Amino acid sequence: MSTIEKDCNTVENGNGSSRRSAILMGGAALAGLMLGRNALAQSSSVSDSDILNFALNLEFLEAQFYTLATTGQTIDVAAGISIKGGDGSAGGTVKVKANPMVPFSDPLLKQFAAEVAMDEQNHVKFLQQQLSTSAVAMPNIDLLNSFNALAQAAGLGSSFDPFASDVNFLLGAFIFEDVGVTAYQGAAGLLSSKTFLDKAVGIHNVEAYHAAGIRTRIFQAGATAQAASQAIAATRAKLDGTGNDDIGVGVTSGAATIVDNNSMGMTYARTTTQVLSIVYGGGSGGGAFFPNGLNGKIK
C-alpha cells in the first residue's frame, strides 16, 4: 500500500516569489505522454518504454488526485491498483491534507469527478500492463505544499485547498487537465510503435474531454473562478518559457474561451522540457508535485 503523509497545515512558507510561482504550476503536471523533442534530447536512446514510463509517472499523479478527491483514499486502497514497479520495487508516498475527500455540493459534479477518477485509474492500469516488468514504481507525490503555494503564486490569497469545495476542486483539476492535453499534442509522431501511438491518441482524446468538462464548469461558476483560471494559465505559460501558449477561462470579444486553442483553432503543444519545467516548478531533478523527481529515464 502507498503511504499517505497527512498534514492539516494550509500554507507553505516560500523562499521568494520566484519559488512560489514555480511551485504553483507543479500542479500542471499532468496526465499522459508529456513528451517533446527538446526533453527527449536530454537522454540518448530513449525507447517507447521510456516514453510510456514517463507517462505512467504523470498518470499516477492524476489518478491519486481524483481518487483522493472522490473517495478520500489512494488508488491502491480505493481501487486495488499497485503502486509498485514491475520489478517489485516499492512505490512512493502521497503527501496530502487530512480527510481530502471533497464535500461536493453539486451531485452532478460529484458524478463527473468519479468518472474522471476511474478514467485516470484505467490509464495507470493500461500503462502498467503494456510495460509489464519494466513499469516504474510510483514516485513520491506532494498534493499539499504545491497547492498551498498556488494562491501566493497566482495572487489568489494566502493558501489554496483543491479539496475544500466544488470550485476549488475544479481549479485544481484545471491545472492538471490542460497541460495533459497540450502534452499529448506535443507527443504526436514521437512514438515509434503505431500501436502505442494509436493508444496515446485515445488517451489524449479522453483528457481533452476531461479538460472541456472542467473548463465549462469553471465558466459557469462565474467571474471569480474565471479570473483564477486566467491567473493559473498565465503562470503556466510563464513557466514553460513561452508566455503565450495558455488561455484561461473567460470571455474575449464577446465569446467564451472555454476551449484552450490557438488562432487556427488547434490545441497548443508542449515539449517534454516545457512540461518538466511545469512539473518540477521551474527546477530540475524534482520539486513541486514530484519533490524527488520522476522515476525512469525521462525526468
Decide if pLDDT at 176 tops 50.
yes
Identify the pLDDT of residue 10.
35
Q: What is this structure's pTM?
A: 0.85
Reduced to 3 states (helix: H, G, I; strand: E, B; else coil), residue 283 is coil
Mean pLDDT calculated for residue range 29-42: 40
Decide if pLDDT at 243 tops 80.
yes
Q: What percent of the chain has pLDDT over 70?
A: 82
User: Among 73-87, 134-148, 180-194, where is mean pLDDT lowest?
Assistant: 180-194
**Phi and psi angles of residue 116, each rounded to the nearest 5 degrees, phi first:** -60, -40
Query: Maximum CA pair distance of the chain?
Result: 55
Query: Which residues lie across from 251 on neighbouring strands?
Result: 256
DSSP state for residue 296 in the 8-state scheme: S
User: Among 39-53, 119-133, 149-163, 262-276, where is mean pLDDT lowest?
Assistant: 39-53
CB 12 within 8 A of CB 145: yes
More confident residue, 97 or 22: 97
User: How many angstroms separate the Cα of 217 from the Cα of each of 21, 43, 57, 170?
Assistant: 25, 39, 27, 8
